A and B are shown apart, each in its own frame.
Chain A
Amino acid sequence: MIYIDKTPNPSGAYPNPKNQPFSGSIILTDEQAEMFFAYNGFIIVTETDDGVSVEPNVEAWEAWKAEHPESEEEPPAVETTVYDELDAAYQEGVDSV
């Protein structure tokens, strides 16, 4: 379950979803949250009697992706590898005592 702002950003995407409720927030179920993250927050939210329904805002999402083709580059994992080697060296030293 996540909590999103009632109003989307000017781009059509909803801002960073929070993991706790806040004033004016809308609740999305886990299933709706999956769609939310799959489309980077580009969804259309419709209020219903039971809560809200969501659907992808595909047009806005595609337009955003076209403008930001490299926005999802994963940073290099070098830092983690260094820590693993340091950890192994430390453990070897401890075990040798």
Chain B
Amino acid sequence: MQDRVPVNPGRVLVTPENGGAAYYATLTRADNPTQEGTPLNKDSLLKDATAALFGLGANAVPDDALSAIKTLIDGANANANAKAKIATGSYTGTGTYGKSNPNSLTFGFVPKFVAFSSTRYTVHGYLLNPGTRAYLSGNATGGDQTVTWNNKTVSWYSSDAQAQLNFTNTEYYYIAIG
């Protein structure tokens, strides 16, 4: 960005609309400000050092910097989206089980691994995408699970509530990585 550098600061050329001869005059503010205000110039809008932070040169204008910010944000988002994500949470068992009563969990990303625990029972097992078979056990009862992975949702069922980690009023905790 470049500041204007006048030889005659404040000088203007006045051209009367009535056809009279044009003449020079100097305009000086006389509005008695109670506060001077921040001047709009290179120093307040886009210093060279600030432009350099965006990889821009001394001729860059504020619009160039704003455009560079957008590019940086898009790049950061793409970078973050490529990283592994983790989610934790809990659910409460209802006592149902079987093919017509699967458990399910939905995440903000595609889960690749889901592990469980409980403060009430010893829980073993985990789910690993894209495996459609797994073994889970809640306390003494364990069983094979049929697992379905559907984008950001995983569902599973087994032959009894404990094996399915869905015992009534039991809180189960999970961690998912994707």
**What is the interface of chain A, defined by CB distance below 8 A to chain B?**
2, 5, 9-11, 13-20, 22-25, 36-37, 40-41, 64, 71-72, 75-76
**In the complex, which residue of chain A has the Cβ closest to the Cβ of B164?**
A16
**In the complex, which residue of chain A has the Cβ closest to the Cβ of B155?**
A15
Cβ–Cβ contact B107 & A71, under 8 A:
no
The verdict on A72 contacting B91 (CB below 8 Å), with A22-B107, A37-B168, A40-B168 known, is no
Does B101 belong to the interface (CB within 8 Å)? yes
* Bound CA span A12–B148, Å: 19
**Residues in B48-83 with C-beta less than 8 Å from chain A:** none
B149 smallest CB distance to A (angstroms): 15
Cβ–Cβ contact A2 & B92, under 8 A:
yes
Residues of chain B contacted by A17 (CB below 8 angstroms) = 91-92, 94
Does B15 belong to the interface (CB within 8 Å)? no
**What is the interface of chain B, defined by CB distance below 8 A to chain A?**
89-108, 121, 139-141, 152, 155, 160-162, 166, 168-169, 171-172
Cβ–Cβ contact B90 & A13, under 8 A:
no
The verdict on A13 contacting B162 (CB below 8 Å), with A37-B168, A40-B168 known, is no
Cβ–Cβ contact A75 & B152, under 8 A:
no
Cβ–Cβ contact B100 & A9, under 8 A:
yes
In-complex Cβ contact of B96 among A13, A19, A23 (8 A): A13
Residues of chain A contacted by B166 (CB below 8 angstroms) = 16
22 A-B pairs with C-beta separation under 8 A: A10-B99, A10-B101, A11-B100, A11-B101, A13-B94, A13-B101, A15-B94, A15-B102, A16-B92, A17-B91, A17-B92, A18-B90, A19-B91, A20-B89, A37-B94, A40-B168, A41-B96, A71-B96, A71-B160, A72-B95, A75-B162, A76-B140
